[in-house]
Chain A
């Protein structure tokens, strides 16, 4: 990293830009909303324009990519009371805004906002001729939004000129008015658009296939000799860093949960491998910066060269949990099976976390809600009269269908609040004269299947102890769970240590996993949602792994009350596993092509593995193996000092963390504190 980048990074990490922040009292504006009975679209655009006009151009010392938020709080289009009124008539996911999609910024970067403005203005004229009220509302608000963005950009440019920041001023002389001609211009433009989407109040929207749509600009600069490789890396790093300037203002369940994800690699719309020098530059930039934003996703497939896996593993090694891998060979046919066109499917990206969707034309609500799979098993256990496991399992299948019925009932009317500005980056919305809140090419709903391994292990335990060994009845198992296995120590012991668990490549239990995932997915097949789309099943859990777990008592797999499920698609937390090979094998047996709403298998590898001779190559075999076995999504964590520190405070979250102690490997959380400290120190000693 250059000195300049190091200083800039230190600046941002110290949050020095926060001194410019101001709280605005939006009371008057909000009063006007209800007094004048403004429409949703008008409220949102009024708010957006007001925020941008309140913004003050500021520049971090030495920065070249401008736009930093100074307005701390955004105006809400509706008061809480108004919002709960709206929620009576329709279901609004989360905050009700456009969220969790991947806007198409590329098309606007290519033509500039002036051109987009004329496009919108022309379309508005037509709408006025046709007297199309919705189109008129949407397009005039889109127009107002563009003007507000251009006005702020002009103020930024003037301020840059005044402050003698010639480089910044030069970029802003071209973008966002005109098309980006160079890589730096394209990055500045992307920064502005992404910044403004947040300022409109939309959140958790990804950056899409960054290396695909920006490579042509970089390639031209490299060919022309106007940028060197090193300069290109520095620009990339500066853009990545810019994603961290305001991220503490970006809401989420946890700090860092802000959906600034980007996707690298994979294939193009024709199916050709699409890795390019920018793919590698992005991996390097992220590795050098070691920041939580943007979140790096990498598309891989059977054809992906080993050097890509190696470069990615270099990034894994720094221990920030990136990249997250997505497997084209599973995701693309999975999306096609759901009705996405082959070309669109090949163009997939991720939304905020892991939900696969198509940039530009996807208006899927990918995490609309979830089904707690352990709760389904629990419910059947309480009521079933089954005499054998097959009948019991048949009831589980029925219960999954009932669960789906219930959710569909809840989602009979689903609405999204308008986003006139973000709609500019949603394919075809201007031409259609319709805000993206009314839908786009794809309007599917994603359903998480949470607590997958707890459910599978519970089914196996019931099968073995109730139906095969006849050790106890379903009623007795229910009682044991309700009592948190109190006075049932022997049973708990046998369930824990003498019952096959998913993650150890044991056919008996993995087979149940295969069925459960297939039946969960099947319970959604053929259902239409209220927005003209379908439902997509997934293996993600988001925050549900804690919420859903809290709703349940102890479970038949020996998980005690209060213990969380494992996050996403991973072995249960207290299940001993032999290692990554078995885990990959177990978790790639289910037909993941039917679970492309996404949700990764998560693994931890001690970072000493990376430092050994050939360690990098060896670790890189894991994602490659995963892809070849038909996994859909994988995240590998190099366990490092910070994670170990965290493990000391939250051991329950790190049960599978393996550390090499001395000639042997052990579970970190099982070591006594002094030894843990010792290992932490050792890690610190050998960076």
Chain B
């Protein structure tokens, strides 16, 4: 079947173990005001810098392109990472693609804002899941991301007791989630997490807005992008036996 992607990028070193080739899926049900991939929001083919942005592609064709990296991955390790946008928003396409890519090592990065059924199927299709955690508070989540946090929380609850190896990614947004004691708030969400490998904290960067200009879209952050980010106290994670790294 067909799906929509907007980029394939090789040598993404942060998107999983080894050397990754990352496929960016087009379309996301959330609208985080700090989103750094505005071309990943809509499923439609758009224009960026006067060039077409986005491509509708058959899973088999895309798998063929990605398999060109096999000799590299077999020799040096690494694999394919599904990112976006929200890769689980095109779950059937993703599942077909994943089945065609196996036995390559697969990673998916998700916001968790998808139906529990889709979430479980997606999680089962990859070797490691990268789960975003943007906020612990439902109101804040709704204000800044335009979504219902309970859906994410349901999926997180399931993930925590599952055997799916996963990494939690927290984007640190100034004034949004770096509130005093925020480390504790995030840690409390991760109580009893069975297959958690580590937590990665990614500080917001003002350059997030650059692609909006390239797409002639307004960039309207719901926070002050230039504000200082409260540095995370990684020891708090450590005290709870959670390995945390600042990217």
Residue positions of A touching B, CB distance < 8 A: 497, 505, 578-582, 585, 605, 609, 612, 614-615, 618, 621, 624-625, 628, 660-666, 670-672, 675, 678-679
- The answer to whether B207 and A679 have CB atoms under 8 Å apart is yes
Which B220-246 residues have a C-beta within 8 angstroms of A?
Answer: none
Q: Which of A497, A585, A671, A672 contacts B68 (CB 8 A)?
A: A585
Q: Which of A621, A660, A672 contacts B19 (CB 8 A)?
A: A621
Q: Looking at the assembled complex, report how far the CB atom of B37 sits from the nearest CB atom of chain A, in whole angstroms.
A: 6
Contacts of A624 in B (CB 8 A): 76
Using known A-B contacts A578-B21, A624-B76, determine if residue A661 contacts B11 with beta carbons closer than 8 Å: no
Q: Looking at the assembled complex, report how far the CB atom of A180 sits from the nearest CB atom of chain B, in whole angstroms.
A: 43
Contacts of B216 in A (CB 8 A): none
- The interface stretch among B86-94, B120-128, B143-151, B198-206 is B198-206
Contacts of B2 in A (CB 8 A): none
Closest to B69 in A: A581
- The answer to whether A661 and B207 have CB atoms under 8 Å apart is yes
Known: A609-B13, A662-B205. 9 other contacts (CB 8 A): A578-B8, A579-B10, A579-B11, A579-B21, A618-B11, A618-B76, A621-B19, A663-B171, A678-B207
Q: Looking at the assembled complex, report how far the CB atom of A490 sits from the nearest CB atom of chain B, in whole angstroms.
A: 12
Q: Which of B8, B19, B49, B210 contacts A661 (CB 8 A)?
A: B210
Q: Is residue B194 contacting chain A, with contact meaning CB distance below 8 A?
A: no
- 29 example contacts (A-B, Cβ-Cβ < 8 A) are as follows A497-B51, A505-B68, A578-B8, A579-B10, A579-B11, A580-B10, A581-B10, A582-B10, A582-B68, A585-B68, A605-B11, A609-B11, A609-B13, A614-B13, A615-B13, A618-B13, A618-B19, A625-B76, A661-B210, A662-B36, A662-B202, A662-B204, A662-B205, A662-B208, A663-B14, A663-B171, A670-B49, A672-B210, A675-B206
Q: Looking at the assembled complex, report how far the CB atom of B235 sits from the nearest CB atom of chain A, in whole angstroms.
A: 20
Contacts of B11 in A (CB 8 A): 579-581, 605, 609, 618
Contacts of A505 in B (CB 8 A): 68
Max count, chain A CB within 10 A of own CB: residue among B37, B51, B205: B205
Contacts of A614 in B (CB 8 A): 13
Q: Looking at the assembled complex, report how far the CB atom of A497 sits from the nearest CB atom of chain B, in whole angstroms.
A: 6
Max count, chain A CB within 10 A of own CB: residue among B11, B210, B213: B11
A679 CA to B69 CA, complexed, in Å: 30
Q: Looking at the assembled complex, report how far the CB atom of A587 sits from the nearest CB atom of chain B, in whole angstroms.
A: 14
Q: Looking at the assembled complex, report how far the CB atom of B226 sits from the nearest CB atom of chain A, in whole angstroms.
A: 11
Max count, chain A CB within 10 A of own CB: residue among B75, B202, B204: B75
A624 CA to B76 CA, complexed, in Å: 9
Using known A-B contacts A580-B10, A618-B13, A661-B36, determine if residue A671 contacts B52 with beta carbons closer than 8 Å: no
Contacts of A660 in B (CB 8 A): 14
Residue positions of B touching A, CB distance < 8 A: 8-14, 18-19, 21, 36-37, 49, 51-52, 68-69, 72, 75-76, 171, 202, 204-208, 210-211, 213-214
Contacts of A671 in B (CB 8 A): 207, 210
Q: Which of A605, A663, A666 contacts B202 (CB 8 A)?
A: A663
Contacts of B36 in A (CB 8 A): 661-664
Contacts of B171 in A (CB 8 A): 663
Contacts of B8 in A (CB 8 A): 578
Using known A-B contacts A497-B51, A628-B75, A664-B37, determine if residue A579 contacts B207 with beta carbons closer than 8 Å: no
A585 CA to B66 CA, complexed, in Å: 13
Using known A-B contacts A497-B52, A663-B202, determine if residue A675 contacts B10 with beta carbons closer than 8 Å: no
Contacts of A672 in B (CB 8 A): 210, 213
Closest to B34 in A: A662
Using known A-B contacts A579-B11, A612-B13, determine if residue A670 contacts B214 with beta carbons closer than 8 Å: yes
A675 CA to B211 CA, complexed, in Å: 11
Q: Looking at the assembled complex, report how far the CB atom of A122 sits from the nearest CB atom of chain B, in whole angstroms.
A: 57
- The answer to whether B205 and A661 have CB atoms under 8 Å apart is yes
Max count, chain B CB within 10 A of own CB: residue among A505, A618, A625: A618
Contacts of B69 in A (CB 8 A): 581
Closest to B48 in A: A670
A328 CA to B207 CA, complexed, in Å: 43
Total A-B residue contacts, Cβ distance less than 8 Å: 77
Closest to A610 in B: B13
- The answer to whether B10 and A578 have CB atoms under 8 Å apart is yes
A585 CA to B11 CA, complexed, in Å: 14
A670 CA to B18 CA, complexed, in Å: 28
Contacts of A662 in B (CB 8 A): 36, 202, 204-205, 207-208
- The answer to whether B207 and A612 have CB atoms under 8 Å apart is no
- The answer to whether A678 and B13 have CB atoms under 8 Å apart is no
6 closest residue pairs by CB, A with B: A579-B10, A662-B205, A621-B76, A579-B11, A661-B207, A581-B10
Closest to A620 in B: B76
Q: Looking at the assembled complex, report how far the CB atom of A306 sits from the nearest CB atom of chain B, in whole angstroms.
A: 10
Contacts of A666 in B (CB 8 A): 210-211
Q: Looking at the assembled complex, report how far the CB atom of B107 sits from the nearest CB atom of chain A, in whole angstroms.
A: 14
A664 CA to B69 CA, complexed, in Å: 20
Q: Looking at the assembled complex, report how far the CB atom of A660 sits from the nearest CB atom of chain B, in whole angstroms.
A: 8
- The answer to whether B9 and A612 have CB atoms under 8 Å apart is no
Closest to B68 in A: A505
Q: Looking at the assembled complex, report how far the CB atom of B219 sits from the nearest CB atom of chain A, in whole angstroms.
A: 12
A540 CA to B75 CA, complexed, in Å: 29
Max count, chain A CB within 10 A of own CB: residue among B8, B13, B68, B72: B13
A685 CA to B20 CA, complexed, in Å: 26
Max count, chain B CB within 10 A of own CB: residue among A580, A585, A605, A675: A675
Q: Looking at the assembled complex, report how far the CB atom of B22 sits from the nearest CB atom of chain A, in whole angstroms.
A: 9
Q: Looking at the assembled complex, report how far the CB atom of B32 sits from the nearest CB atom of chain A, in whole angstroms.
A: 12
A628 CA to B204 CA, complexed, in Å: 40
A358 CA to B49 CA, complexed, in Å: 49
Q: Which of B9, B13, B76 contacts A578 (CB 8 A)?
A: B9
Using known A-B contacts A661-B207, A671-B210, A679-B207, determine if residue A625 contacts B75 with beta carbons closer than 8 Å: yes
Contacts of B214 in A (CB 8 A): 670
Q: Looking at the assembled complex, report how far the CB atom of A500 sits from the nearest CB atom of chain B, in whole angstroms.
A: 12
Q: Looking at the assembled complex, report how far the CB atom of B131 sits from the nearest CB atom of chain A, in whole angstroms.
A: 15
Contacts of A581 in B (CB 8 A): 10-11, 19, 21, 69, 72
Contacts of B210 in A (CB 8 A): 661, 666, 671-672, 675
A670 CA to B210 CA, complexed, in Å: 9
Closest to B17 in A: A614
A665 CA to B202 CA, complexed, in Å: 15
A625 CA to B211 CA, complexed, in Å: 33
A536 CA to B168 CA, complexed, in Å: 56
Q: Which of B18, B37, B51 contacts A618 (CB 8 A)?
A: B18
- The answer to whether B72 and A625 have CB atoms under 8 Å apart is yes
A225 CA to B220 CA, complexed, in Å: 68
A609 CA to B72 CA, complexed, in Å: 18
Closest to B50 in A: A493
Max count, chain B CB within 10 A of own CB: residue among A505, A585, A615, A663: A663
Q: Looking at the assembled complex, report how far the CB atom of B207 sits from the nearest CB atom of chain A, in whole angstroms.
A: 5
A614 CA to B18 CA, complexed, in Å: 8
Q: Looking at the assembled complex, report how far the CB atom of B87 sits from the nearest CB atom of chain A, in whole angstroms.
A: 15
Contacts of A615 in B (CB 8 A): 13
Contacts of B51 in A (CB 8 A): 497
A678 CA to B204 CA, complexed, in Å: 13
Q: Looking at the assembled complex, report how far the CB atom of B111 sits from the nearest CB atom of chain A, in whole angstroms.
A: 13
Q: Looking at the assembled complex, report how far the CB atom of B13 sits from the nearest CB atom of chain A, in whole angstroms.
A: 5
A66 CA to B202 CA, complexed, in Å: 53
A665 CA to B20 CA, complexed, in Å: 13
Contacts of A580 in B (CB 8 A): 10-11
